[in-house]
Structure 1
Amino acid sequence: MTAELVRGQNHPLPETRLEVRVSSGVPLVAAASLVDADGTVAGPERLAHPGAPCLPGVEVSRQAAAEHRLAVDLDALPADAHRVAVLLALPVGTGGPGRFGLVAAPFVAVTALDGAEVVTFTLTGLDPESAVVAVELYRRQGAWKVRAVGQGYAGGLAALLHDQGVERAADVAAAVHDAVAGGLDRTVATPPPRTPEGDRARRDTAPLAPAGAPATPTSPPSPHGSQPPHASTAPPAGRTGPVGAPVSAGPVDYTHPRRQTTAPPPPPPTAPPATPGAPAAPVAGDATGWSMEERLYNQVWGMFEDLARAVAAYRSAVDFAESRMDQELEHALSDPRSRIGGAGDAARAAARARCEELTDRAKAALDRDLAQLAAESAVVEPALPPAFARWEDPSWLAYRVPMEVPMALRLGDLHLPERPELRVPMLVRLPLERGLWVDSGRRASREALFLDEGRLRRLALDTAVAHAARLLAVHPPGDFTVRVIDPAGAGAAAFAPLTAAGVLAEPPAAGPGGVATVLARLTQRVDLVQMAVRGGAGADALPPELDTAQQLLIVNDFPHGFDDRAVTQLRYLADEGPAVGVHLLMVADREDADAYGPVLDPLWRSLLRLTPVPDDHLADPWVGHAWTYEPPLVPGGGEVLHQVLAQVAAAHRAWRR
């Protein structure tokens, strides 16, 4: 039976291998400190945190998240570690809440490896505090117990660590927060939470629909942690302009007018297993949702999470087997009697045999899970719509310009080293929550180190063009505008598919004057729409020449040709643009901008870093595995790209008429 603790209570722990699960309404930083008999932490090396997530017997998450699973093996702790303190802190410098009083009370559960809860604890009563010691696992008379602590610190993580005796606590806390901030450009964000106002919560700052519009109904949450899109009102009768275009007086409407207002249909029935006891045959769209598109989206995210957790369980089991073998070997070698005769050899052989047995069992469980996921992927991939599909998928050969915006877009594939051929689509929600950065640097990945610098830059531009073409292709005519800044004209050959098709709003801007003009125009657009949002102004208050379609600005060869004012404008667009429909796609080598120093760090962190060659720089939001990202390569010759862009251009010309 689960024990529900209050602050100060303790409870015995029946096992020494445990998980500490943390749930909260906002991302938190999770850490764990090893406390000695004097109640102090000997140094930063006794602190597990996102920048250094592993210690003997303890492993924490690599990034801030709303849910954490901390792995603890009490038998593997150093001999002088008498307590494991689980620490939670609100991240600094991310724009989130600055104190626990502004968020829901975090919930902590200590569980056995089979998921059975041992104790739970809700951290109530926190207000000005921004860091807290949640629980501690401690040794008493040879047995382990857990205590609900809930001690908060208004001074944040630095004050908490100082209280634990960590030297230079402020520097250590800053390093922890820097590690969290530095991971923002590598984490694949989870689907946004469901809100009564709809699936695009960030549109709270955008102009609202006209007064009197029907309320948006809520819907039940979908599995795997993802949430369905909202059901919004239908578009006005006779509307022919793009979403967000000023078709009549009144506030500009940026909502997505396509979702049903009825309950989502159930997922399709699962095919019965071919043999009794075998897993059920996978079915494409086997998840809840308002449409097949949404069911497939939720299913892909479920596969992503299942693969992450299956590999995490395997790696944890292997680590435990090896840790146990090391302890048994150490014990055998420390006993003088084992050195006489063959007792020592027998003990070592038995320890290795037990390790191999545990590893083999873990590998068998992993193989079973991966086989099921591979079978599911085999039926899901052919069913994906073009926005979710690879470029070589037959759905692009039958491409037609859509009449509505899809809920997500594929930016590439992700895989883990345990099964490289099992790839999960990397889907991001539309409209984009963050800008994109295609890293053209030779240090972008190990594979990039072996490429010629010119070849790598061309690959980066080709990747950016593929992303831009896909964004254009999945939007209805007039809904999406692409602009290009190419100061020296170095990307003319790579941009040729876009310019030849006539899908750019204007020729690529070149020279300091062209850079200044485009950035000034987009900065002004952001300012005008923000003012319209705040003032509730009607569409007739906006300048008639204002392009209200979503804007994508491709920036090549940064920072060459950009002065300080242009750099400031780029940072402004990266921060404020996505909320009002202006998005960046940077093609740049970060080392080229080293002269600016840390002033550009917020810019890089605000963008989702992608690479033109495979690289293991992205992390999942559950356990923080390093996933290898595979860019979305267009098949040789690029015929499918040219065909798609030709249809997009024709549809745009027809729409303008």
Structure 2
Amino acid sequence: MTAELVRGQNHPLSGTRLEIRVSAGHPVVAGATLGDAEGRVPGADGVAHPAAPRLPGVEVSRQAAAEHRLAFDLEAVSEAVHRVSIVLALPSGVGGPVRFGALAAPFVAVTDLDGTEIASYTITDLEAETAVVAVELYRRQGAWKVRAVGQGYAGGLASMLADHGIPQAAELAASIDEAVAQGMARAVVPPPARLATGEGAGRGSAPAADVRGSAADGRSVPDAAAEATGPDGLDPTVSLPAQGVGGADEAPGRQPGGASGPISYQHPGRRTSTPPEPAPAAPAAEPGRAGAPVAGDATGWTMNERLYNQVWGMFEDLARAAAAYRSAVDFAESRLEQELDRVLSDPSTRVGPAADAARAQARARHGELMDQARAVLDRDLTQLAAEAEVVEHALPPAYARWDSPVWQGYQVPLERPMALRLGDLHLPERKDLRIPMLVRLPLERGLWIDSGRSSGGVDAALVDSAELRRLAVDCAVAQAVRLLAVHPVGDYTVHVIDPAGSAGTALAPLLEYGALKEQPAAGAQGVSEVLARLTRRVDLVQMAVRSGAVDALPPDVDTAEQLLLVNDFPHGFDDRAVTQLRYLADEGPAVGVHLVMIADRDDARAYGPVLDPLWRSLLRVTPVPDDHLADPWVGHAWTYEPSMAPAGSDVVRQVLWQVGQARRAYGI
């Protein structure tokens, strides 16, 4: 949940790699000063500004702009730096406002690299100031926090830099102003004012729709719909799925002068401030054609991070494109219904040649709108399909399908990736366009692999119960192998509970290649022992973290990430074991204990609502395609397909063999 700060308030930071986003409504200069514990900056080399935008762990914009994204890696800053102040200033000598009091209150947001907002601050009560310290990142007892400052300076940059103890502050301020003046021609234009809406907006007004471009005849879908709205006073209502995102530099479709235009639904992480490593550049496109897609065309500190953001952007783009198409279809259907009702309500046109002509005209307009909507969708899906194909071949093992060639050159990694592929997602508009379903690591929720026929979908109905359970076990083993493969040696330990021993065949490769330290726990006693051991680990690690005594953990506590694979729940579980499993599902992920549970909810009906919190705490996936997942933007029902090795492939065994070899080499 975002913390909305007031002046002087602070908030802890959960990570050290951040973005700070600034929105001022008018071009401003953004920079950062790196000070000691007292806030004093030793010299000009401790200031990141447009003329020197990069310092260790800090990168700021190279020019004045209405929107800024500043990148910070607090682990990379010097140990002598205890305060990082984010400063804003009005450019001087280039025209425009001469005081912040003439502008809308600047807004500052601190976000994770994936765009999740941590804290925000609106800088109010500014009058004659021309420079302001917006927020401050400061180190306290080894941890970083953010504080809302809002300290303004009527004397401008020179006064503010002098207050930070910088020698020759006036000369530094002059050099910054000179660099800004040279770059003002490239400054981002502030976004146009949003059109006012009121009670009068709606009936008789042109409908708004989500479109990613124009139709084949050069008109967008909403333009064509507005043109089709004649003087008959019909009310064409099109639902807008979500507000467009992006700063002023991301809205090329908007018309000048504040007029409404096509809304950009590009993911905010796809065109942002310059990352430390430049993203690959797409080759120049032929006139009239879209540019060729490039893998890694997104923001990020590493190629893997850019690929993750690009996949997330493709996911959102497909959701928006489908929402636009469905909205346009709904509008066309609604318009056809209204026009036919209008014909039937008039006795003079209810029957006869005039009625037939009116109905034919209404259906023709309906067909035209449908064709335009489909043309826009087909174009967008073609672009996304081309991008998906390029990106798929560039994905690292953690993000790749099991049939990807990248697994043929697999080597045990030296560090944990930022995400893991659980499967693929697609929409009915184009089933062959698959978007990788990536989840962040470490897992924030356990996985529930639904082995019941109630999992839904035609595929589940065509598979008998025994086969569905076998597929669920295979899916769980594939996920466990992938988790082992993408973590460094010794960073992941797998435990298995198989009360009846029914998963012996599927689990055999894990035992054969040494991925399991011990045999799967069977029977009530085995279940109890494993759950007691993991529950003790969760309790001890929680106490150690809360007391700051992590080094005091007993030597028999395995500090590696733990994965518990439970088969055929709730068979073999008594009330105490069920309670322990619920505890692990709730408290385990925060201290490195993760759960993958294979279960049929119908088998656990005897427990009634007692297990409802357990089902809700886990991410439900299925061993066969099922449309039970929804996106966070417009709520489409996405069909999930698990990530499984191709039939007859030995890729999982090959990967397990390499993992086992590495574990033996390290004596694990």
Q: Name 1:626's counterpart in structure 2.
A: 637
Q: 1:397 aligns with which of 405, 408, 433?
A: 408
Q: Name 2:339's counterpart in structure 1.
A: 328
Secondary structure (helix, strand or coil) at the match of 2:598 reads strand
Q: 2:353 aligns with which of 342, 346, 351?
A: 342
Q: Deviation per CA, 1:311-332, whole angstroms, max 9, x where unpaired?
A: 1100100000000110110011
Q: 2:318 aligns with which of 301, 307, 310?
A: 307
Q: 1:510 aligns with which of 522, 541, 544?
A: 522
Q: Does 1:476 align with 2:553?
A: no
Q: Name 2:429's counterpart in structure 1.
A: 418
Q: Name 1:160's counterpart in structure 2.
A: none
Q: 1:522 aligns with which of 512, 534, 551?
A: 534
Q: Name 1:369's counterpart in structure 2.
A: 380
Letter in 1 for 2:194: E
Deviation, 1:339, is 2.5
In the alignment, the residues of structure 1 paired with residue 310 and residue 202 of structure 2 have an alpha-carbon distance, to the nearest angstrom, of 49
Q: Name 1:281's counterpart in structure 2.
A: 292
Q: Name 1:408's counterpart in structure 2.
A: 419
Q: Deviation per CA, 1:415-436, whole angstroms, max 9, x where unpaired?
A: 1111111101111111001100
Q: Name 2:279's counterpart in structure 1.
A: 267
Q: Deviation per CA, 1:359-405, whole angstroms, max 9, x where unpaired?
A: 10000000110111111112111111111110011110111101111
Larger Rg, first or second structure (1 or 2) = 2
- The alpha-carbon distance between structure 1 residues 593 and 403, as it changes in their structure 2 partners (threshold 3 A), is same
Q: Name 1:564's counterpart in structure 2.
A: 575
Q: Does 1:433 align with 2:510?
A: no
Which structure 2 residues correspond to residues 136-215 of structure 1 after superposition, within 5 A?
138=199
Q: Which runs of 4+ in 1 moved over 4 A?
A: 102-105, 137-144, 225-228
- The alpha-carbon distance between structure 1 residues 141 and 361, as it changes in their structure 2 partners (threshold 3 A), is closer
Q: 1:379 aligns with which of 375, 378, 390?
A: 390
TM-score between the two structures when normalised by the length of structure 1: 0.61
Q: Name 2:213's counterpart in structure 1.
A: none
Q: 2:610 aligns with which of 586, 599, 602?
A: 599
Q: Name 2:54's counterpart in structure 1.
A: none
Q: Deviation per CA, 1:564-619, whole angstroms, max 9, x where unpaired?
A: 11111111111110000000000000111111111111111111111101111111
Q: Does 1:579 align with 2:622?
A: no
Q: Name 2:646's counterpart in structure 1.
A: 635
Deviation, 1:340, is 5.0
Secondary structure (helix, strand or coil) at the match of 1:402 reads coil
In the alignment, the residues of structure 2 paired with residue 263 and residue 370 of structure 1 have an alpha-carbon distance, to the nearest angstrom, of 28
- The alpha-carbon distance between structure 1 residues 141 and 412, as it changes in their structure 2 partners (threshold 3 A), is closer
Please tell me whether the aligned partners of residues 434 and 607 of structure 1 are also in contact (alpha carbons under 8 angstroms). yes
Q: Name 1:487's counterpart in structure 2.
A: 499
Q: Deviation per CA, 1:434-472, whole angstroms, max 9, x where unpaired?
A: 100110001212211111211110000000000000000
Letter in 2 for 1:639: D
In the comparison of the two structures, how many residue pairs are matched? Answer: 419
Please tell me whether the aligned partners of residues 538 and 587 of structure 2 are also in contact (alpha carbons under 8 angstroms). yes
In the alignment, the residues of structure 1 paired with residue 276 and residue 495 of structure 2 have an alpha-carbon distance, to the nearest angstrom, of 38
Please tell me whether the aligned partners of residues 585 and 614 of structure 2 are also in contact (alpha carbons under 8 angstroms). yes
- The alpha-carbon distance between structure 1 residues 276 and 423, as it changes in their structure 2 partners (threshold 3 A), is same
Q: 1:649 aligns with which of 638, 641, 660?
A: 660
In the alignment, the residues of structure 2 paired with residue 431 and residue 225 of structure 1 have an alpha-carbon distance, to the nearest angstrom, of 24
Q: 2:549 aligns with which of 518, 537, 540?
A: 537
Q: Does 1:118 align with 2:195?
A: yes
Q: Does 1:224 align with 2:301?
A: no
Letter in 1 for 2:341: E
Q: 2:601 aligns with which of 590, 598, 620?
A: 590
Deviation, 1:227, is 9.9
In the alignment, the residues of structure 1 paired with residue 550 and residue 472 of structure 2 have an alpha-carbon distance, to the nearest angstrom, of 41
Q: Name 1:613's counterpart in structure 2.
A: 624
Secondary structure (helix, strand or coil) at the match of 1:424 reads strand
Secondary structure (helix, strand or coil) at the match of 2:267 reads helix
Letter in 1 for 2:379: R
Question: Larger relative CO (CA 8 A, sep 6+): 1 or 2?
Answer: 1
Identity %: 69
Secondary structure (helix, strand or coil) at the match of 1:463 reads helix
Letter in 2 for 1:484: V
Please tell me whether the aligned partners of residues 541 and 550 of structure 2 are also in contact (alpha carbons under 8 angstroms). no
Q: Deviation per CA, 1:59-79, whole angstroms, max 9, x where unpaired?
A: xxxxxxxxxxxxxxxxxxxxx
- The alpha-carbon distance between structure 1 residues 226 and 608, as it changes in their structure 2 partners (threshold 3 A), is farther
Secondary structure (helix, strand or coil) at the match of 2:517 reads coil
In the alignment, the residues of structure 2 paired with residue 225 and residue 513 of structure 1 have an alpha-carbon distance, to the nearest angstrom, of 52
Q: Name 2:145's counterpart in structure 1.
A: none
Deviation, 1:538, is 3.8
Letter in 1 for 2:530: V
In the alignment, the residues of structure 2 paired with residue 582 and residue 462 of structure 1 have an alpha-carbon distance, to the nearest angstrom, of 21
In the alignment, the residues of structure 1 paired with residue 538 and residue 282 of structure 2 have an alpha-carbon distance, to the nearest angstrom, of 48
Please tell me whether the aligned partners of residues 264 and 288 of structure 1 are also in contact (alpha carbons under 8 angstroms). no
Q: Name 2:566's counterpart in structure 1.
A: 555
In the alignment, the residues of structure 1 paired with residue 506 and residue 560 of structure 2 have an alpha-carbon distance, to the nearest angstrom, of 25
In the alignment, the residues of structure 2 paired with residue 527 and residue 458 of structure 1 have an alpha-carbon distance, to the nearest angstrom, of 34
Structure 1 portions without partners, runs of 5+: 1-101, 106-114, 121-136, 145-222, 229-261
In the alignment, the residues of structure 2 paired with residue 414 and residue 263 of structure 1 have an alpha-carbon distance, to the nearest angstrom, of 29
Please tell me whether the aligned partners of residues 515 and 566 of structure 1 are also in contact (alpha carbons under 8 angstroms). yes
Secondary structure (helix, strand or coil) at the match of 2:196 reads strand
- The alpha-carbon distance between structure 1 residues 391 and 116, as it changes in their structure 2 partners (threshold 3 A), is farther
Q: Name 2:309's counterpart in structure 1.
A: 298
Q: Does 1:467 align with 2:510?
A: no
Please tell me whether the aligned partners of residues 409 and 427 of structure 1 are also in contact (alpha carbons under 8 angstroms). yes
Q: Does 1:451 align with 2:451?
A: no
Secondary structure (helix, strand or coil) at the match of 1:403 reads coil
Q: Deviation per CA, 1:78-108, whole angstroms, max 9, x where unpaired?
A: xxxxxxxxxxxxxxxxxxxxxxxx9999xxx
In the alignment, the residues of structure 2 paired with residue 322 and residue 413 of structure 1 have an alpha-carbon distance, to the nearest angstrom, of 32
Please tell me whether the aligned partners of residues 387 and 410 of structure 1 are also in contact (alpha carbons under 8 angstroms). yes
In the alignment, the residues of structure 2 paired with residue 609 and residue 142 of structure 1 have an alpha-carbon distance, to the nearest angstrom, of 43
In the alignment, the residues of structure 1 paired with residue 415 and residue 646 of structure 2 have an alpha-carbon distance, to the nearest angstrom, of 26
RMSD: 2.4
Please tell me whether the aligned partners of residues 270 and 310 of structure 2 are also in contact (alpha carbons under 8 angstroms). no
- The alpha-carbon distance between structure 1 residues 631 and 143, as it changes in their structure 2 partners (threshold 3 A), is closer
In the alignment, the residues of structure 1 paired with residue 204 and residue 353 of structure 2 have an alpha-carbon distance, to the nearest angstrom, of 34
In the alignment, the residues of structure 2 paired with residue 270 and residue 141 of structure 1 have an alpha-carbon distance, to the nearest angstrom, of 41
In the alignment, the residues of structure 2 paired with residue 324 and residue 404 of structure 1 have an alpha-carbon distance, to the nearest angstrom, of 56
Please tell me whether the aligned partners of residues 618 and 628 of structure 1 are also in contact (alpha carbons under 8 angstroms). yes
Please tell me whether the aligned partners of residues 616 and 628 of structure 1 are also in contact (alpha carbons under 8 angstroms). yes
In the alignment, the residues of structure 1 paired with residue 619 and residue 452 of structure 2 have an alpha-carbon distance, to the nearest angstrom, of 15
Q: Name 2:363's counterpart in structure 1.
A: 352
Deviation, 1:637, is 2.9
